[in-house]
Amino acid sequence: MNMENVNHLDTANTAGFNDTVTVTQIDRDERPLHIETVIKQRSLERNSSDYRCEIRRKTFSSEHEVFRHKVIHYREKLFQCEVCGKSFVFNSKLASHKRMHTGEKPYECAICGKSFFYNSHLVTHKRTHTGEKPFHCEMCGKYFVSNSNLTQHKITHTGEKLYHCEICGKSYTQNSTLTVHKRSHTGETPFHCEICGKSFVSSGDLNGHKRTHSAEKPFHCEICNKSFTRNSSLICHSRSHSGEKPFQCEICGKSFIRNSHFVHHKRSHTGEKPYRCEICGKSFINNSCLVIHIRSHTGEKPFRCELCGKSFIKKSCLVVHKRGHNGEKPYQCEICGKSFVKNSSHVDHKIIHTGERPYHCEICGKSFTHNSHLVVHVRTHTGEKPYHCDICGKSFVNNSNLVVHKRSHTGEKPYHCEICGKFFTGNSCLVVHKRTHTGEKPFHCEICGKSFVCNSHLKSHKQMHTGRKPANCEQ
């Protein structure tokens, strides 16, 4: 405790208090509770706006208020949470904070039954029912339900980021966001789920996670009625309807719905891959990609289809798979009307209409419709074959080729021709086979005009023009 500061507080800011009791006379260990008692019993409020904090330039209407405020600057935070170690100036603040760990929400909305940690949060929530928005931005005229929302909004006008991380230099508009960010450096996850034991860096993440256990999804999209466990997820989803992509890359101009997607995209320019697999050393641009990758080592497939029993390493694969059972194809091309089970297929298809090939090979100049095709193509130059068959040891440039190959060991042929009943190990083989029924030959030789059912046949044919013999020809 800096006693000089406390003495300054006594002499400069306790006019109107009984001189027989001063802050410095209160025992150190008892001080926090006694200060509040002294303030409540001895303060003489005045109708004046002359009570000012010189540090923050904040003005108060009474000695009671300015005294309590200045204690924050001059006194140690002696009330500490035994769960996470956070300290507080007042015991009442510690009591409120503890509810974040216990999950107690004593303030309940009489209209919808939703509960809150703090009464102030309940007051703000009630305004969502009444429509009241008493806080007004004088710059753009927008209204808000709480002063904190208004304060946060004002920063969008100023661009000010006052809170800086001393470890990596990143800046934030709110101190609470900085606090959560710092935990990414320390690895601290003080918020624990009592159901499954999983830990989180913030109470918001914990609350969102808890809803995965209760199946509660209180945030509903007014356009398509889809529900979400978090309001932030609803906001991002709403952008898929409005087309809004507020996060734009200043390097290539690409825009994103989510800031997290934007952050990950920027790493494609910088080459940064901060998440590293301890098993094989491979690095990834985000932690979720690393988690999914690790399952390729462990064989874990936690997402299981209850209809056919097939399991998947990630939830999105299960969602797409289920559409194969119910025939759902929610993504439709607005140009030709063709529908798709997943959005990535829809995006890839649209490039057929635009002819766009934005991904270029720096070695041979060949262009591709999307980056994953370029990555696989580059391996034909480097000779890299990172996907290995654990049965025979054969290696492949991409995982899909490995999956099809493994069926040669198991005998599985899941792709069925509805015309002749023949079965195939891969969908591409089925597509080529169907052309024998339809007569379609989409691959044309520009030298002699001959056409073929698949690109590999065209490549073999072209070698007859160049004089080169196919690799499997006998001498």
Q: Are residues 371 and 390 in the same domain?
A: yes
Q: Lowest mean pLDDT: which of 73-77, 125-129, 202-206, 276-280?
A: 73-77
Q: Are residues 369 and 455 in the same domain?
A: yes
Could you tell me the residue range of the domain that residue 449 belongs to?
359-465
Q: Are residues 396 and 442 in the same domain?
A: yes
At 72 the pLDDT is 61
> Is it the case that residue 75 has pLDDT exceeding 70?
no
Q: Lowest mean pLDDT: which of 60-74, 113-127, 324-338, 352-366?
A: 60-74
Tokens of 411: 């005998």
Name residue, tokens 């996060």: 247
Name the DSSP letter for residue 24: G
Distance CA 255, CA 243 (A): 10
Q: Give tens-digit pLDDT for 229-246.
A: 888 888 888 888 888 888
Q: What is the pTM of this model?
A: 0.39
Q: Are residues 79 and 111 in the same domain?
A: no
244 against 77, higher pLDDT: 244
Q: Are residues 402 and 451 in the same domain?
A: yes
> Is it the case that residue 125 has pLDDT exceeding 70?
yes
Determine contact, residues 432/446, Cβ cutoff 8 Å: no
> Is it the case that residue 409 has pLDDT exceeding 90?
yes
- Residue 364 lies inside a defined structural domain of this protein: yes
At 201 the pLDDT is 86
- Out of 337, 354, 371, pick the residue that ends a domain: 354
> Is it the case that residue 27 has pLDDT exceeding 70?
no
> Rounded mean pLDDT of the chain?
79
β-bridge mates for residue 304, sequence order: 311
Q: Are residues 455 and 367 in the same domain?
A: yes
HSE-up (13 A, CA, CB side) for residue 249: 17
Q: Are residues 335 and 395 in the same domain?
A: no
Tokens of 232: 């932030």
- Out of 158, 192, 225, pick the residue that ends a domain: 158
- Residue 181 lies inside a defined structural domain of this protein: no
Nearest Cα to 358, choosing from 366, 455, 255? 366
Cβ-in-10-Å burial (0-12, 13-18, 19+) of 71 comes to: buried
> Is it the case that residue 21 has pLDDT exceeding 60?
no
Q: How does residue 392 score in pLDDT terms, banded at 50, 70 and 90?
A: very high
Cβ-in-10-Å burial (0-12, 13-18, 19+) of 70 comes to: buried
- Residue 233 lies inside a defined structural domain of this protein: no
> Is it the case that residue 137 has pLDDT exceeding 80?
yes
What type of residue sits at position 94? Answer: L
Q: Are residues 133 and 75 in the same domain?
A: no
- Residue 80 lies inside a defined structural domain of this protein: yes
SS3 288: helix
Name residue, tokens 């209204």: 143
> Is it the case that residue 460 has pLDDT exceeding 80?
yes
What type of residue sits at position 410? Answer: T
At 29 the pLDDT is 41
Name the DSSP letter for residue 25: G
- Residue 278 lies inside a defined structural domain of this protein: no
- Out of 327, 354, 381, pick the residue that ends a domain: 354
Q: How many separate domains does the chain show?
A: 4
- Residue 45 lies inside a defined structural domain of this protein: no
Q: Are residues 437 and 409 in the same domain?
A: yes
User: Domain holding 338: CATH number?
Assistant: 3.30.160.60
Q: Give tens-digit pLDDT for 162-190.
A: 788 888 888 887 788 888 888 888 888 88
- Residue 377 lies inside a defined structural domain of this protein: yes
Residue 429 Cα to chain centre, angstroms: 38
Distance CA 12, CA 263 (A): 49
Q: Are residues 328 and 406 in the same domain?
A: no
